[in-house]
C-alpha cells in the first residue's frame, strides 16, 4: 500500500520521516548517559534510497523541494525494527516498563490556559506527559512532536540545547529514532508559542513503545470502510470522534445502571448458556459442552430467567448484558448485542412507559446535555411526553379503510356465531383488503409485504404485518406503539379492557424499534396454552417449508433456507416457575446499541460496537 502524497506539508513531513531517516549504526548515544558522550551532531542519514514504485511519478512539493517517495509498510517495518535494535544497543529498552505521568494533556491545557502567547511558565513546574506521537517536524536544532493521550493533545517543543543539557544525545534520539506512531514519555516545563500552541519544553524524552507499523495517512475517506471495524484500534488512533462514541456508550450504560439502582433495582446475571432458548422469537446459536455431553443454546433474551427471579422474591431486577441471535448481519444487526431488561413487581405497562421516558431522557441529558437531539439529519425531541398510539390506530391512520379494531370484533362475532369457518372468512376478506392496499402502494418496499400478508395465520399477525408495512417507518418522533395483538405477544398479559390485544408497547424512534415492554403474563395456565400454540405454529411452518424445499430440490433448484428455519421448544421449567406465582409485574427491554446509535448520531450498529462481527 502506498502512502498518500496529497497531505499538508506538516503531516507529509511526519510521514516521510520514517523513510528518509535511516538507521545509523554509528549513532551510539546513550540517553541519560553520564559518561562517554559521543559527538552530538546530527546523524548522517545513510541515504537509504526510497524505493520507487513502478509507474509512480515523484510528486512535487509546492515549495519546489523534491518530495520523498513513500515506502511500503513492510519497508517501514524493517527500518523500525532496526531502530528497535539500535535503541537496545544504546541500552534503551524500546518497550519500557512504566512511566510516571503527572498530567493528562487536557489538564495542562486547562491549568495553563492563562499563559500568554510567547510566554514561559514562570512557576517552574516540571510536568511529565505520555502518549502517541501523531506528528513530527524537525527544523535544524528544533523539533516538534504532537503528542496525543487519552484526553487530548499537546505539542512537545524540543530545543536541542534544552534537551541535551539534561539528556545528552537526546536530540539525535528524537531526530533519528522517534517516529510518528511511537509512544513516548516527555518531561519538561511549559511555554506557549508565539502562535498560541501550549508546549512542553522537553528536558527529557524517552521512547516507551516503538511502533513498527506506520500510521495510515488517510482514514476518513478510506474506501475500505470495513477496515475501520476490523482494525478498530487504528480507527480510534486516527479519529477522536470514534473514541468519543465509545465514551458515550459507556456513559449511557452507566446512566441506565444508576437510574435503576436509584430506584431500588438489583442488577443480576443470568445464564448465557441455556437448555431452551426462550423469551423471544429468534434463531439461537448452539454449542456443545464436552464433559456434560449436552447441547446448549445461547440466550436470545434474558426474560424468562429474570421473571423466575421475580417469582423468587427479587421484586425489582435488571440485567444489562449480551444477547445472541443467529441472524444476518446488517447496519442494525450484530449477532451479539447488548440489552437491558427490567422487571418490576406490582407495576404494569403504563409504569414501564413512564420508566422508559425517564431512562431515555436521562441518557440524552447525560450524553448530549439536552433532550433535543439530531439523528441523521432529523430533529428528535425527547423532552415532550412520547406519543402513544395503538397499533390498529396507526394502521388506520395510514390506510383509512383498514380498521383492525372493527375487523377483530367482527372476527370474534363470526367465530361466536358461525364457528371457525366464519372466522376464517373474515380473515380471508381482511387479507384481500390489506393486499389491495399494498398493491396500490407506490413504494416497492411496502409491496414486498404482500407475501407475508398472504400467509398471515391470524388477524393479529395480519395487523402486525400491515403495521410494519405502512406505519413503522414513519414513526420518527418517539412513539409508544401499544396494544399488540395477543397472537404476536405470547408473554404479554391480555389487555384489561380490550379483547384480542395485550398490555404491551414498543417504543419507535426514527422508524426503529428501541424498546419492548408489557404487563407480564402471570397466568401459568394461559402461558402454557400460548407457548404450545406458538411452538406448534412455528414448527408446522418450518416443516412445511422444509418439505417444500425437498420437493423443489428434486426439481433441481433448492429454495434458500428462511430466517425462521429452526425448531423451537416450550420452556416447561419456566411454566413451573409461573405456577408458583409471579406477582403482577411490568417488564421492559431496551436495545442498548440502538440507543447508543441514536445518541451518538451513528448510522450503523457497527459504529457503536467496538469489534463488530465481520465476514
* Residues 52-91 interacting with another protein (rule: CB under 8 A): 77, 81, 84
User: In angstroms, what CA-CA distances link 146 with 10, 105, 132, 134, 489?
Assistant: 11, 11, 8, 6, 57
Element of type H or E holding 479:
strand 479-482
Work out which of 87, 205, 208, 280 binds another protein, going by CB under 8 A: 208
Q: Contact between 493 and another protein (CB under 8 A)?
A: yes
Burial grade of 245 (CB within 10 A; 0-12, 13-18, 19 or more): buried
Q: Contact between 379 and another protein (CB under 8 A)?
A: no
Cα 135 to the center of its chain, rounded Å:
29
- The nearest distance, CB 271 to another protein, in angstroms, is 5
How many Cα atoms within 13 Å fall on the side-chain side of residue 267?
Answer: 12
Stretch that binds another protein, among 97-105, 167-175, 411-419, 476-484 (CB under 8 A): 97-105
Give the sign of the dihedral formed by CA 349, CA 351, CA 354, CA 359. Answer: negative
C-alpha cell at 453: 400478508
> In this structure, are residues 243 and 294 in contact, taking their beta carbons and an 8 Å threshold?
no
Work out which of 37, 117, 123, 213 binds another protein, going by CB under 8 A: 213
Distance CA 205, CA 221 (A): 34
Stretch that binds another protein, among 166-174, 242-250, 372-380, 399-407 (CB under 8 A): 242-250
Subset of 6-45 contacting another protein (CB under 8 A): none
Distance CA 389, CA 543 (A): 37
The per-residue DSSP string of 265-333 comes to PEE----SEESS--SS-SPPPEEEETTTTEEEEE-S-SHHHHHHHHHTT--EEEEEEEEE------SS-
User: In angstroms, what CA-CA distances link 207 with 86, 142, 163, 605?
Assistant: 12, 18, 14, 37
Q: Contact between 125 and another protein (CB under 8 A)?
A: no
Strands 153-159 and 142-148: antiparallel
- The nearest distance, CB 461 to another protein, in angstroms, is 24
Subset of 137-156 contacting another protein (CB under 8 A): 148-150
Q: Contact between 222 and another protein (CB under 8 A)?
A: no
Element of type H or E holding 160:
helix 160-166
- The nearest distance, CB 291 to another protein, in angstroms, is 4
Stretch that binds another protein, among 56-64, 114-122, 212-220, 532-540 (CB under 8 A): 212-220
Q: Contact between 524 and another protein (CB under 8 A)?
A: yes
- The nearest distance, CB 502 to another protein, in angstroms, is 11
> DSSP class of residue 468?
I
Distance CA 234, CA 423 (A): 61
- The nearest distance, CB 345 to another protein, in angstroms, is 8
Q: Contact between 346 and another protein (CB under 8 A)?
A: yes
- The nearest distance, CB 61 to another protein, in angstroms, is 27
Q: Contact between 338 and another protein (CB under 8 A)?
A: yes
Residue 535, φ and ψ in degrees, nearest 5: -65, -40
Q: Contact between 273 and another protein (CB under 8 A)?
A: yes
Element of type H or E holding 451:
helix 450-454
> In this structure, are residues 346 and 598 in contact, taking their beta carbons and an 8 Å threshold?
no
Subset of 578-607 contacting another protein (CB under 8 A): 579-584
* β-strand partners of 159: 142
- The interface mask with another protein, positions 437-476, x = CB under 8 A, is ----------------------------------------
Q: Which is nearer to another protein, 232 or 452 (CB)?
A: 232
- The nearest distance, CB 219 to another protein, in angstroms, is 12
Name residues whose C-beta falls within 8 Å of residue 16's C-beta, 6 or more positions apart in sequence: 67, 68, 70
* β-strand partners of 278: none
Subset of 250-269 contacting another protein (CB under 8 A): 250, 253-254, 261, 264, 266-269
Residue 450, φ and ψ in degrees, nearest 5: -55, -45
Q: Which is nearer to another protein, 213 or 428 (CB)?
A: 213
- The interface mask with another protein, positions 184-203, x = CB under 8 A, is -x------------------
Subset of 278-337 contacting another protein (CB under 8 A): 283, 285-292, 294, 296, 298, 305, 308-309, 311-315, 321-322, 324, 326-329, 335-336
Work out which of 519, 594, 599, 600 binds another protein, going by CB under 8 A: 519
Q: Contact between 486 and another protein (CB under 8 A)?
A: no
Q: Which is nearer to another protein, 94 or 168 (CB)?
A: 94
Stretch that binds another protein, among 26-34, 180-188, 353-361, 376-384 (CB under 8 A): 180-188
Work out which of 345, 409, 425, 570 binds another protein, going by CB under 8 A: 345
Work out which of 43, 488, 509, 577 binds another protein, going by CB under 8 A: 577
Amino acid at each position: 500500500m502506498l502512502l498518500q502524497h496529497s497531505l499538508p506539508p506538516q503531516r507529509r513531513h511526519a510521514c516521510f520521516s520514517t523513510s528518509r531517516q535511516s538507521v545509523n549504526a554509528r549513532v551510539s548515544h546513550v540517553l541519560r548517559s553520564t559518561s562517554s558522550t559521543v559527538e552530538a551532531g546530527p546523524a548522517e542519514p545513510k541515504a537509504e534510497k526510497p524505493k520507487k514504485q513502478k509507474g509512480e511519478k515523484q510528486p512535487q512539493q509546492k515549495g519546489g523541494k523534491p518530495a520523498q517517495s513513500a515506502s511500503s509498510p513492510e519497508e517501514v517495518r524493517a527500518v523500525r525494527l532496526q531502530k528497535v535494535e539500535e535503541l537496545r544497543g544504546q541500552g534503551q529498552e524500546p518497550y519500557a516498563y512504566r512511566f510516571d505521568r503527572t498530567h493528562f494533556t487536557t489538564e495542562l491545557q486547562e491549568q495553563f490556559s492563562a499563559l500568554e502567547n510567547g510566554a514561559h511558565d514562570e512557576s517552574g513546574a516540571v510536568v511529565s506527559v505520555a502518549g502517541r506521537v501523531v506528528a513530527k517536524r524537525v527544523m535544524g536544532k528544533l523539533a516538534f512532536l504532537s503528542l496525543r493521550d487519552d484526553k487530548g493533545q499537546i505539542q512537545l517543543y524540543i530545543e536541542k540545547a534544552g534537551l541535551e543539557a539534561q539528556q545528552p544525545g537526546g536530540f539525535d534520539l528524537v531526530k533519528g529514532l522517534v517516529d510518528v506512531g511511537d509512544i513516548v514519555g516527555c518531561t519538561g516545563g511549559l511555554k506557549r508559542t508565539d502562535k498560541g500552541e501550549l508546549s512542553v519544553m522537553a528536558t527529557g524524552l524517552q521512547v516507551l513503545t516503538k511502533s513498527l507499523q506506520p500510521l495510515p495517512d488517510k482514514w476518513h475517506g478510506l474506501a475500505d470502510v470495513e477496515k475501520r471495524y476490523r482494525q478498530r484500534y487504528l480507527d480510534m488512533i486516527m479519529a477522536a470522534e470514534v473514541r468519543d462514541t465509545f465514551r458515550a456508550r459507556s456513559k449511557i450504560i452507566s446512566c441506565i445502571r444508576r437510574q435503576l439502582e436509584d430506584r431500588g433495582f438489583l442488577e443480576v446475571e443470568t445464564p448465557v448458556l441455556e437448555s431452551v432458548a426462550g423469551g423471544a422469537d429468534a434463531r439461537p446459536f448452539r454449542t456443545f459442552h464436552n464433559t456434560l455431553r449436552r447441547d446448549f443454546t445461547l440466550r436470545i433474551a434474558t426474560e424468562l430467567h429474570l421473571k423466575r427471579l421475580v417469582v423468587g422474591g427479587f421484586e425489582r431486577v435488571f440485567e444489562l448484558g449480551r444477547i445472541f441471535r443467529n441472524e444476518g448481519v446488517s447496519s442494525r444487526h450484530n449477532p451479539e448485542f447488548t440489552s437491558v431488561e427490567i422487571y418490576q413487581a406490582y407495576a404494569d405497562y403504563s409504569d414501564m412507559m413512564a420508566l422508559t421516558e425517564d431512562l431515555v431522557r436521562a441518557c440524552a441529558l447525560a450524553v448530549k446535555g439536552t433532550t433535543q437531539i439530531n439523528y441523521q439529519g432529523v430533529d428528535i425531541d425527547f423532552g415532550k411526553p412520547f406519543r402513544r398510539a395503538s397499533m390498529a390506530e396507526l394502521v388506520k391512520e395510514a390506510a383509512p379503510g383498514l380498521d383492525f379494531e372493527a375487523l377483530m370484533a367482527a372476527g370474534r362475532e363470526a367465530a361466536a356465531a358461525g364457528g371457525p369457518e366464519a372466522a376464517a372468512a373474515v380473515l380471508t376478506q381482511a387479507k384481500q383488503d390489506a393486499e389491495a392496499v399494498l398493491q396500490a402502494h407506490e413504494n416497492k418496499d411496502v409491496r414486498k409485504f404482500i407475501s407475508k400478508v398472504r400467509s398471515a395465520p391470524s388477524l393479529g399477525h395480519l395487523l402486525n404485518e400491515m403495521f410494519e408495512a405502512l406505519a413503522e417507518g414513519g414513526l420518527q418522533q418517539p412513539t409508544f406503539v401499544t396494544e399488540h395483538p395477543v397472537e404476536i405477544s405470547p408473554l404479554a398479559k391480555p389487555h384489561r379492557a380490550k379483547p384480542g390485544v395485550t398490555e404491551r408497547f414498543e417504543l419507535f424512534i426514527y422508524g426503529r424499534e428501541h424498546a419492548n415492554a408489557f404487563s407480564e403474563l402471570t397466568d401459568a395456565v394461559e402461558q402454557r396454552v400460548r407457548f404450545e400454540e406458538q411452538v406448534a405454529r412455528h414448527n408446522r411452518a418450518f416443516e412445511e417449508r422444509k418439505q417444500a424445499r425437498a420437493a423443489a430440490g428434486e426439481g433441481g433448484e433448492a429454495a434458500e433456507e428462511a430466517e425462521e428455519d429452526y425448531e423451537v421448544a416450550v420452556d416447561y421449567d419456566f411454566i413451573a416457575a409461573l405456577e408458583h406465582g409471579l406477582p403482577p409485574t411490568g417488564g421492559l427491554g431496551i436495545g442498548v446499541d440502538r440507543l447508543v446509535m441514536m445518541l451518538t448520531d451513528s448510522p450503523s450498529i457497527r459504529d457503536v460496537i467496538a469489534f463488530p462481527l465481520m465476514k
